[in-house]
Structure 1
């Protein structure tokens, strides 16, 4: 009789909640490497892996994690094999990697258009002893073979790669790049899979999605997030899995939801240094699912259809915002208010009047004691807006797309209509000034906002164009913005009073400028 109880219970649950007992399982394989004994080490990849691991575990995934010296190819391969063996058709495996990527001469002649294979570099690889250590790289051909194993069983795959293989940047960033030096010599294939996998590149994978941190022409830098070096893609993906990307609260993240969330937040957190890259570039369907957040019964986190729960919005302080920044002062000057924060600091060179971001960018020029508080207040407000955006990011565009613009460049800024009736548009200038651009209120939907043929002029540094869409009343905020003498501190107070913890969508468009070359 006892043996029958689990079966009867399972039958009852299946009848009571159709599909719940047979819901698909999600597996996570997480790899993060900071310590490279034979190469330049990184600072934030293990933080990325730990963050993603926590978010996956909280979402109910079955997760295996490898960091630093634990990240050995044979162990990673076995974990993948075990997951594929256990998974059933309809399940999902998410493989995330944070660490160095690199390139080498193609293993199979004519296999790559650029003549180069890409690989993930594990700690045991030494390019000065490549014949002995070539087993400690994972070549793109091998990954094709791994993905084909899952696809053959009807298992979905999402590969999230927070690394890079090529590219350069125009801005002066002090964070490390996740790009190891290219291997110049032609290596022997590290495995038979590396040879066989070349033939799989022509396969049209139907259930594999790849999310890379940046375009092939861009680097993947480590940037400062919440005071610590991080990968912007890993940070954004962890927040997505926590549920922030699940706009309708149905327990699943579609490809389109993930795109919308990741593109916006990677731009916000990298200060527009990166543009993520999806493969395939276009979603296979409007309803294509890439992440299932939970497995279980309604009430235990899994909801569907009419039972979907709306997204809950948290106040900024619950998301880590402190109302302070860390500031290092080079020179003799009084310390501004709200600068006793922790983590990698902003820096103010008093003699030269230059204000630097924690990433090493020039944020503002000609900043003296009379302007420093306004600049500090701007970045305190910007952090507040980034916290809001992490829950419900909007999308805006600046054309042409560059990481830095020179004097005389002409730009176009577009903020599309939002799904809320009210909209605010303003600029946080590099000097700390707040510049009101537009307000739309009490409509059924906001209209498109455009700035066309904008010319880059002095002063140079970092501006941030902000768009907020909401169903909450915005007249009081608009009144504050309309004051020509409004400060960032006053605007912050108005936003905290009216929108903190409320449903609102926030888009942030960084605009870094400099003197013409």
Structure 2
């Protein structure tokens, strides 16, 4: 197991500095970026190759999207600090790091983001601190060569030494990569995106006898804190996953491949995570936002972590801006936040003409809905490659599109100015057989949002209403966390349990769901039914079947 301090640095999305709110809220604070995105690796095959590791599809998009968000926030991103593909060698990264540090003032922030492959290598030199698995975590740059795996990579030891040497400069280091293999559920990798794990490497002993050809020459054992040591005071960590045993998969947003953590990190820079609208992102705000959005979007397969979580500690000084995420009046969902068209991908003969679907747009790997031709119809997959069910008719296929649209509507109902909805499963996000008893805990995000409305979006697209409250006689606020248990019933697949915590009972929505007869209502009708009732939305998957 990697030591806590070094898991900060690398576990998959690592992040950087913490300071008092007053120090970084100063409008004169400057964010000095180094942005890395690598799809094209010099020695890896194209994504279509049979065996991994391969080139990636979304890392370049990640870098460009983060740069876009920073520029929108008024941050200067010099061309030489945006390192993409063949410009993202290890030496180019180290030079960009030095440029970012040079001249940094006491209130400035060096923001480094990395989107690309991560890996592991067997630990064969001091400090020998990988006491559980004996493997160092690494970031792999464009020039990484599997034939000479000491080149073109940085170990977590080297990164930690760089962080310590940069003190007291405040640093945010974001690495959207992964270092180990494992998911809670089997997924159809051919349907979803690519894994950002490049495997485990063993360095030949002769490479250690020769002078080091990378930043490892700068690393000494004394520069790396002992296992269990507290993180440096100028460093904050943001992990893409809570465990090294979880893969980080690419997915798709707005028709383009991305890493989920990078996508939502860019949204956080846009201001969506600035719940109190004070122009700065605290650790708590960043953690609340990323943990909720990524966990939901990746269907519980990826859970980021922000460590530590000091509500008063600033993570990014974005400056005071207006109009980016203006608070909607009385909690109403405006048209700008309604979900867009549903991305649909076909593998083999299609069940319906895409042009005839008014809410459909063509999508590729990682589309919201994928239909794969099968002997008995079409197997349906969600964006993360989970099998939902098999459909045998055009109507059943179109019901899957409406299902995806309703799921997207629930996500659009998440209010960035409110604490996340407390929705947690009491069992792992694996597939559970029919008849199994499963449980969930529902916690109001605040005392003012205590009226719970619960419904299920079943695998076949039917909306199962009346889970909680089952009748108007039980319309009462929750006084604290509530645990509910259910028995898994057909149809098997991938249900979505939706929880709305509102300031008062949303009786209009209750009536709409009651009158819909199990059909998924359109987004506009859901919004209209909520009226001016302020609510916070949450959802969690229940995956069932053999």
Q: Residue 96 of structure 2 is aligned with which of 62, 75, 79?
A: 79
Q: Residue 45 of structure 1 is aligned with which of 59, 73, 86?
A: 59
**Aligned-pair CA distance for 1:311:** 7.1
**Aligned-pair CA distance for 1:446:** 7.1
Q: Residue 396 of structure 1 aligns with which residue? A: 423
Q: Which has the higher contact order (CA 8 A, sep 6+)?
A: 2
Q: Tell me, what secondary structure is at the counterpart of 1:86?
A: coil
* 1:213-228 to 2 correspondences below 5 Å: 213-214=240-241, 215-228=243-256
In 2, the alpha carbon distance for the partners of 1:117 and 1:424 equals 46
Please state if 1:67 is matched with 2:84: yes
TM-score, reference length from structure 2: 0.79
Q: Are the aligned partners of 1:248 and 1:311 in contact in 2 as well (CA < 8 Å)?
A: no
**Aligned-pair CA distance for 1:374:** 2.4
In 1, the alpha carbon distance for the partners of 2:332 and 2:68 equals 19
Q: Residue 58 of structure 1 aligns with which residue? A: 72
**Aligned-pair CA distance for 1:243:** 0.7
* 1:114-513 to 2 correspondences below 5 Å: 114-130=133-149, 134-150=150-166, 152-153=167-168, 155-169=169-183, 170-174=185-189, 175-186=193-204, 188=208, 189=212, 190=214, 191-196=216-221, 199-201=224-226, 204=230, 205-214=232-241, 215-278=243-306, 280=307, 282-283=308-309, 285-294=310-319, 310=327, 318-319=336-337, 321-328=339-346, 330-331=348-349, 333-335=351-353, 337-338=357-358, 340-344=360-364, 345=367, 346-347=370-371, 349=373, 351-353=375-377, 354-389=379-414, 391=416, 393-419=420-446, 420-436=449-465, 437-439=467-469, 448-452=481-485, 454-471=486-503, 474-483=506-515, 485-489=517-521, 492-499=523-530, 504-513=535-544
**Aligned-pair CA distance for 1:66:** 1.0
Q: Residue 28 of structure 1 aligns with which residue? A: 33
**Cα-to-partner distance string for 1:234-289 (whole Å, 9 max, x where unaligned):** 111111111111111111111111111111111122122111133x3x42x33121
In 2, the alpha carbon distance for the partners of 1:302 and 1:379 equals 29
**Cα-to-partner distance string for 1:357-377 (whole Å, 9 max, x where unaligned):** 244321123553453332221
TM-score, reference length from structure 1: 0.83
Q: Residue 89 of structure 1 is aligned with which of 81, 103, 106?
A: 106
Q: Tell me, what secondary structure is at the counterpart of 2:67?
A: helix
**Cα-to-partner distance string for 1:11-56 (whole Å, 9 max, x where unaligned):** xxxxxxx998764222222111111121210011111111111112
**Aligned-pair CA distance for 1:501:** 9.9
Q: Tell me, what secondary structure is at the counterpart of 1:128?
A: coil
Q: Are the aligned partners of 1:251 and 1:302 in contact in 2 as well (CA < 8 Å)?
A: no
Q: Are the aligned partners of 1:163 and 1:212 in contact in 2 as well (CA < 8 Å)?
A: no
In 1, the alpha carbon distance for the partners of 2:372 and 2:322 equals 47
List alignment gaps of at least 5 residues for structure 2.
Answer: 1-22, 45-53
Aligned pair count?
Answer: 481
List alignment gaps of at least 5 residues for structure 1.
Answer: 1-17
In 2, the alpha carbon distance for the partners of 1:75 and 1:224 equals 29
**Cα-to-partner distance string for 1:420-446 (whole Å, 9 max, x where unaligned):** 254322111101110122259987777
User: 1:49–1:499: structure 2 CA closer, same or farther, 3 Å change rule?
Assistant: farther
User: 1:500–1:192: structure 2 CA closer, same or farther, 3 Å change rule?
Assistant: farther
**Aligned-pair CA distance for 1:506:** 1.7
**Aligned-pair CA distance for 1:221:** 0.7
User: 1:302–1:341: structure 2 CA closer, same or farther, 3 Å change rule?
Assistant: closer
**Deviation larger for 229-238 or 499-508:** 499-508
**Aligned-pair CA distance for 1:194:** 3.0
**Aligned-pair CA distance for 1:119:** 0.9
In 2, the alpha carbon distance for the partners of 1:273 and 1:339 equals 27
